[in-house]
Each structure stands twice: as structure tokens, then as C-alpha cells.
Amino acid sequence: MSDITLDRAKLIRSLRKAAKRLEGNEAEAFSRVLDDIRKDTKGHYLSYSQEQPAKVSYASRPEHKLDNAQRTRTTLGRYIRRHLGVSKDDLPDKTLHEVSREVFAHLVRGIQAISTISGDAITEAYRTAVGGVSCMTGDDHCRYTELYALNPDVVSMVVYGDNQARALLWKTDQEAMVLDRVYPNDGVHVNVLRNWAAANGYVYCCNNSLPDGDVALSDGCQYTVTLKHNDTFPYIDTFCYGDIDGSTVRLSNDSEFDRRGADAVTYEYDWEHIVGKHFETGFGSFSDISSLGHLGCMAVNIGVGYYDEHSPRAFVVLEQYLSQLAKFVRFHREYKDRHFPYDESVHAGMPASGWFGGYQDADDEFITCDKCGCAFYEHETIGTALSVMCPECGRDIQVEDIQEEREEAEDYVCEEAWGPLGFRSTP
């Protein structure tokens, strides 16, 4: 049996596994895709291309069926769109991208080893940029990650393959194991590591881009980790909120001090009359706390004095930052023993000082950065009401400059963003 036939069988098995994650109309549409590929209705003899990771190959002519040199390589998403004629109404770009990534996660499982390191090895991994370059890698910044080296019983690092990807692995105070954001932030390795975490009974971070408010985990829970520290702290994705108590720091994935300016916003939570006693209240379009009403308590988003966020011009007014913290200390001191209940069935959809509904209610623009060429969806990055940040080069893209693209979800990245084995590099 030829290698192409063997790879084709592997591809079809992986397609079947990925299909189990779909529901409703999307599941029916993908079932038809799988049937067309299995029956080879186009005569392309679609197979997995091991020469080019995260791609498939097909025969444009019958005589090229088993001729690997003559077969055409493309992305699975492009093949499904162009050759099988599946529309975005049947399979949205986002779904197609996720399913494609899941397919190749099953295909590469076992090909690349997964290992864990801890202690000083983590700091060295950041120094040598294991898993790609980020704000904490290199000789100048890896010293901030000594916090991890000080706590080998709490945090380790999972490494994929030959240093192609990395993710921190936390042991929480609640004994749960949590896989942090995966670097680089897109590619087959993301699903491979998430599948590995799930197979081991671990929780994983759902959003693999910059954190914006409460960080959602696969089980929907909030956790804490308690660490020894040396007064030096790194950038942290999932457990990015915390309180210092002497020589220890307690971090959590659940908090909200992430707003520009020096006001406070309550959104649909009807307690502005309480919050307004300590803060100047303002108007906000949406924040993650607008989707946390199911927790049954009121919430507030407090500005901490930063401006021009997610751009090269970003700055903070320290006087405002310290003033807001002082206001919160007084607010907390007065109300720390009082519960403010929230009934989502009564208040949901009733704006208080902001629009309630969430990002999912808005059009999800497909954006191309004119600086580096990176293509991405608006939900994959962060920004303000006036601009968004390119997840590759960091360019501040103004809303009026955003153009909607009609490309497959597989074409998210520019050529310059590809690293070893076709994985994207982290900005």
C-alpha cells in the first residue's frame, strides 16, 4: 500500500474524530464533506501532506493519484470551500478553522513528543525562546520568569516537539491542573496540547490570545495559585490577577481591573448608586463581566488610568492609577461583608451604564494588517472602540481602516509569521 493511501486513511479517521465536536446544522454540513472525501466524488484522492504540515494534497488529474511529486498541496479549508463548494452559511469560517486545526491535531499526535520541565529550566526556556519569541523571552526579559523557578511544585512548563511550542502548567490551590495559553498562539500544536490536557484530566485556557478581563477555562471555573515571590513578576496570561501578602502572592483567573481612564462602569448591574459613592461612573460598550451574571452577584469594571492601550503610544497616568486603587480600598472596606445579589433573569439585557449583549452580537470583521499582511478575525485580538491590534506585528489598526476579507479561515497568517513546521511565531 502506498504512503499516499496510508495518509489518506489517517486523514479520514481524523476527520471523523473532529466531526464529533460539531452539532446541529454544522455537523450535518461536515458529515456531507466527510462523505464526499471518503467516496472521492471529485476524483482527487485527497490525502494528508506530511511534506507540508497542516496541509492536504490532491490529484488534479487521475494519473497523478499516487504520484506525490505531481499532487497539489493546499489547506483543508481551501479545499472544502473551492472544490467541495461548501458555503460559509453551512460552515462558518471560524468553525472551519477550528475543525481543520482539530483534524491536524489528531494527525500529528504521537509524531511530536510532549515533555515537561520545571525550576530553573523554565527560565532558561524563556531565555532561549522555546516556543517562539514573546515579551518574556530573551536575555533582557527572562529574569522576570524567575517566579516560576521559585515554585516548581506549583508551576511547570509543557514543551511540544523540538521546542516548537510551550505552555505553562499550573497546580492550583484547589488541586486542579490548568494548562495556560499555548505559544505560538495558532497552529496544530494548540489543539494537540489541549487534547493532551483533556486526556490527562487537566483544565485548559479556552482563549489563546491576549487576556481581556476574566480568563475563561475549559471547565468554566475560577482557580487560585499561591506562590513565593522575590518582588519580580512576569507577564502572566491566565492567572493575571493577584494580591501580595508578604513573601507570597495569590493569583487568580477572575477579577476586573482592566479599563482605561479613571471611572467605573457597572453595565447591566443595577448598583450604580452604590458604586457612585466612591467612583465617578461612566459608560462602557461591553466587558467580560457583562457575561458573568450567572454567578449571582453584582460586578463593576474599574478604570486604572491607562490610555491608548494596545498601541505603541500606550501610557498610564500613575496618579490616576493610585487614586483608583485608594478608592477601591475604601469601597472594599465599606462593603466587604455585604452581599449584592444579582438576578440574571430580571436584569439581563437591561443596560445600566453600558450596552449589554457582548461582542458576539456584533459583526466579526475579518481584518488584514497592511503592515505585515497578517489576516485575522476581530475576536482573535484586542482593541478599543476606535482601533484593534494586529496579533502579529502589534500595529494599531484604526476602525475606519478595517476592511472585511472573504478568505478561508485557514489563511489567517502572513508568510512572515510562519515558524518551524509551519507554526506561527508569537509577536
What is the per-residue pLDDT across 241-269, written as a single tens digit (0 to 9) for each?
777 778 888 888 765 566 888 899 887 78
What single-letter DSSP state applies at residue 426? P
Cell (9 digits) for 239: 492567572
**Considering the chain, what is the average pLDDT of its residues?**
79
Lowest mean pLDDT among 204-208, 397-401, 420-424: 420-424
Beta bridge partners of 171: 177
Structural domain boundaries of the chain? Answer: 3-108, 114-252, 259-347, 363-422
Query: What sign does the CA torsion over 312, 318, 324, 328 have?
Result: positive
Q: Which of 75-89, 179-193, 262-276, 301-315 reaches the highest mean pLDDT?
A: 75-89
Share of the chain above pLDDT 90, in %: 31
Write the CB contacts of 93 (distance below 8 Å, at least 6 apart in sequence). 77, 366, 377, 408, 409
Residue that wins the pLDDT comparison between 279 and 211: 279
pTM listed for this prediction: 0.51
In terms of Cα–Cα distance, which of 155, 170, 165 is closest to 121?
Answer: 155
Crossing angle for the helix pair 93-108 and 188-199, nearest 10 degrees? Answer: 70
Q: What is the CATH number of domain 114-252?
A: 3.40.630
